[in-house]
Structure 1
Amino acid sequence: MSVRARIAVLPPGTHLLEFRELTMPSPGPFEVMVEQSAFGVCHSQLDRIFDSSRTASMLLGHESIGRVVAVGAEVTYVQPGDQVCTTWIPRSPREGRPPLPSRLTFPDGDVAASHNCYTWGTHALVDEQYVVQMPDGTDPDLGSIIGCALMTGAGAVMNSIDLRPGQSVAVWGAGGVGLCAVAGAAILGAGRIIAVDVSDAKLALAAKFGATDGVNARETDPVEAIRQLTRHDDGTAGADFCLDCTGIGDNIPVSLAAVRPGIRGAGVRGGTDVLVGIPRKPFSLDSFDLLNGEKSLAGSVGGGCDPVRDFATFVSWTNDGRFDPALLVTDRFELDQINEAVDALHHGRVRGRAVVGVRELE
């Protein structure tokens, strides 16, 4: 089967992607070839794009929706024609076999590789563990953001904390992942949901996802603001849970400080601060605040999601109207505009999620 593809490649020594065409190789035994419909542009990809230490070409992107066009001889989970989402969290191990990153060799001999999967192009050839079968007719906006933004943000609320109805949640960063965390908290019954950002426009958007309060950290002390909003009958103040979706090291001790402390001698532990965004550099904590407040600091990778189980939940949220993926997709681009999409995200012009629509190669 001959499939012509157009793939975005990031050469070493530059932060500008270029498109290359090739005839896709046949899938290996455990590979799946996906014809892409749409994909998201995630902030974590900027770390790779602007990494000056890169010495080889890269394939980027890790959330998309499309259809299977070919499968390897050992693949039984999907077949050609199936609608699937691609995601960077492996679906499930196959007899202990770790998923393999993708590699493509182009006509000029250059070899480009992904960190895990890749999605920025008309087609993707990825390990079967990075694809999740979706119901026919899945909303394309949902499919383009489910594999990272929704999974990471809402998943952290579902899987990484023990949220009980009425408890308070503060979310640092009201970008794509943070908005999904806000939505997840609202859907799962949180009482007070506080969005923290430095952009009033993003805070206004967070309100549409269920935030009861917005705090502009550029204009006010977010810790004091959260404590004022979350006073408890036992005399403590602070959010039951804080989720840091920024990955900015300086924010982490601040979000920890905004967590509700425990009560020593009464057997009441403090709240939890969850690292959802990927810290880009080491950070320091107030160890006394962590210890004396009997608080917890936890990490959440990909929202702790089981993609097959949790993607079905996200589809149900969309189908019954509890989550509107079109509201999250604030910026839309075509494939040829991939560098414009990256630039918009890099300079903070994307309020929610940027999505690239893919047309068939002519």
Structure 2
Amino acid sequence: MAVDARIAVLPAGQQAVEIREVTLDVVGPYEVVVRQKAFGVCHSQLDRIYDPSRTESMLLGHESIGTVVAVGDQVRHVVPGDEVLTTWIPRTPLDGRPPEPARIAFPDGDLARTHNTFTWGTHAVVDEQYVVKTPEDTPLDLGSIIGCALMTGAGAVMNSAEVRAGQSVAVWGAGGVGLCAIAGAAILGASPVVAVDVDDDKLKLAEQFGATDVVNAKKTDPVAAIRALTPHDDGTRGVDYAFDCTGIGANIPVSLASVRPGVRGAGIRGGADVLVGIPRVPFQLDSMDLLNGEKSLLGCVGGSCDPVRDFETFVEWTRDGRFDPSALVTDRFALDELNNAVEALHEGRVRGRAVVELEG
């Protein structure tokens, strides 16, 4: 089945995407062609765009909602006409077949690749491992950001840390992923839930998503502020869990310092700092804070999520009003405005999540 598509390509040596026309007429045995309805613009894609070491053209994006228009002959879990969610975490990673990274050959001979999947365009050709059937009553806004922002932020709280009601949480970085972590912590009954950022507008939005307290790290010592908010009966101060969504290596020892220490001889271990944002450069820690406080540093990829299981949970949160995806989508763009969306994100002008809408 031939499908005419417009695909965003990041050419080698450039920092602006080009929208190119291509006919998709060959589907591999495990591939799915998805006609996009909306997709998110994730901060992690900026690392690809501004990577000076990149030597080949790339396809970008990894969260979307759309409709299947064609499938390979080995695809069994979706058929043309199904509404689906695209993500970058494999649906069944233990089935013995690693998913194939997507690639598109264009008429001019350029071959564009991706590390896993792509979503920036009217259509995407993705390995069936990265496609999940859309749960019933999934709104467009939720579908556009569930495959990365919500999965990564809320999943870190729900899966990686397994936060329980009454435990204290600090979220460092109140962008799209951080807001989802804040929402997840609030939904799970954490208290207090402290949002830390350097932008008052983002902190105001964090309160809408369930932050009980906000700290502007430009205006006050954030560690001291968090400790003041989190006294414990054992005499310690600090949060049970910090979620560092900044991706800034220099911030990690600071977020670790906001975590409560353990109590020697009492069998009480310290809290944990969860790395949600991706630090792109090596970082240093205060090893004595980690050791003497009996604290933990946890890595987290994609919120430790199982897409099939967890996407249904996130949709339930939306059905019953606990999560409002339309409040998270603060900036909306058309496909031809994609570079404007990237620029706004790069300059810090996107308070929540930027989304490109192709159809309602």
TM-score, structure 1 normalization: 0.98
- SS for the counterpart of 2:203 is helix
Q: 2:96 matched to which residue of 1?
A: 96
- SS for the counterpart of 1:311 is helix
Question: 2:183 is aligned with what amino acid?
Answer: A
In the superposition, relative to structure 1, how do residues 94 and 125 fare at CA in structure 2: closer, same or farther (>3 Å)? farther
Unaligned runs of 5+ residues in structure 2 are: none
Distance across 1 between alignment mates of 2:182 and 2:240: 14
Q: 2:225 matched to which residue of 1?
A: 225
Q: 1:323 matched to which residue of 2?
A: 323
Q: 2:177 matched to which residue of 1?
A: 177
Is residue 83–residue 136 contact of structure 1 (8 Å, CA) maintained in 2?
no
Q: 1:74 matched to which residue of 2?
A: 74
Matches within 5 A, 1:94-173: 95-173=95-173
- SS for the counterpart of 1:6 is strand
Is residue 137–residue 315 contact of structure 2 (8 Å, CA) maintained in 1?
no
Distance across 2 between alignment mates of 1:26 and 1:162: 43
Distance across 1 between alignment mates of 2:331 and 2:166: 33
Q: 1:340 matched to which residue of 2?
A: 340
Distance across 2 between alignment mates of 1:322 and 1:26: 42
Q: 2:46 matched to which residue of 1?
A: 46
- SS for the counterpart of 1:250 is helix
Q: What per-residue deviation string (whole Å, max 9, x for no partner) do you get for residues 123-146 of structure 1?
A: 000000000101354200000000
TM-superposed deviation, 1:54: 1.1
Question: 1:2 is aligned with what amino acid?
Answer: A
TM-superposed deviation, 1:151: 0.1
Question: 1:352 is aligned with what amino acid?
Answer: G
Q: 1:268 matched to which residue of 2?
A: 268
Q: 1:14 matched to which residue of 2?
A: 14
Runs of 4+ aligned structure 1 residues displaced above 4 Å come to none
Is residue 275–residue 300 contact of structure 2 (8 Å, CA) maintained in 1?
yes
- SS for the counterpart of 2:186 is helix
Distance across 2 between alignment mates of 1:132 and 1:141: 16
Q: 1:25 matched to which residue of 2?
A: 25
- SS for the counterpart of 1:201 is helix
TM-superposed deviation, 1:93: 3.0
Distance across 2 between alignment mates of 1:94 and 1:243: 28
Moved more, 134-143 or 291-300: 134-143
- SS for the counterpart of 1:89 is coil
Is residue 215–residue 225 contact of structure 1 (8 Å, CA) maintained in 2?
yes
Q: What per-residue deviation string (whole Å, max 9, x for no partner) do you get for residues 39-86 of structure 1?
A: 000000000000011111100000000000000000001000001010
- SS for the counterpart of 1:68 is strand
Is residue 38–residue 64 contact of structure 1 (8 Å, CA) maintained in 2?
yes
Question: 1:274 is aligned with what amino acid?
Answer: V
Distance across 1 between alignment mates of 2:294 and 2:332: 44
Q: 2:312 matched to which residue of 1?
A: 312
TM-superposed deviation, 1:191: 1.2
Distance across 2 between alignment mates of 1:348 and 1:314: 26
- SS for the counterpart of 1:341 is helix
Question: 1:43 is aligned with what amino acid?
Answer: H
- The percent of aligned pairs where both chains have the same amino acid is 73
- Alignment of 1:245 onto 2:245: yes
Q: What per-residue deviation string (whole Å, max 9, x for no partner) do you get for residues 250-304 of structure 1?
A: 1100000000000011110000000000011100000000000000000110000
In the superposition, relative to structure 1, how do residues 94 and 168 fare at CA in structure 2: closer, same or farther (>3 Å)? closer
Distance across 1 between alignment mates of 2:130 and 2:103: 14
Unaligned runs of 5+ residues in structure 1 are: none
Distance across 2 between alignment mates of 1:140 and 1:326: 9
Distance across 1 between alignment mates of 2:174 and 2:135: 29
TM-superposed deviation, 1:233: 1.3
TM-superposed deviation, 1:323: 0.3
Is residue 45–residue 60 contact of structure 1 (8 Å, CA) maintained in 2?
yes
Q: 1:284 matched to which residue of 2?
A: 284
Question: 1:56 is aligned with what amino acid?
Answer: E
- Alignment of 1:235 onto 2:247: no
Distance across 2 between alignment mates of 1:319 and 1:81: 23
Distance across 2 between alignment mates of 1:36 and 1:130: 14
Distance across 2 between alignment mates of 1:238 and 1:145: 31
TM-score, structure 2 normalization: 0.99
Distance across 1 between alignment mates of 2:74 and 2:116: 19
Is residue 137–residue 319 contact of structure 2 (8 Å, CA) maintained in 1?
no
Question: 1:142 is aligned with what amino acid?
Answer: L
TM-superposed deviation, 1:26: 2.5
Is residue 157–residue 163 contact of structure 2 (8 Å, CA) maintained in 1?
yes
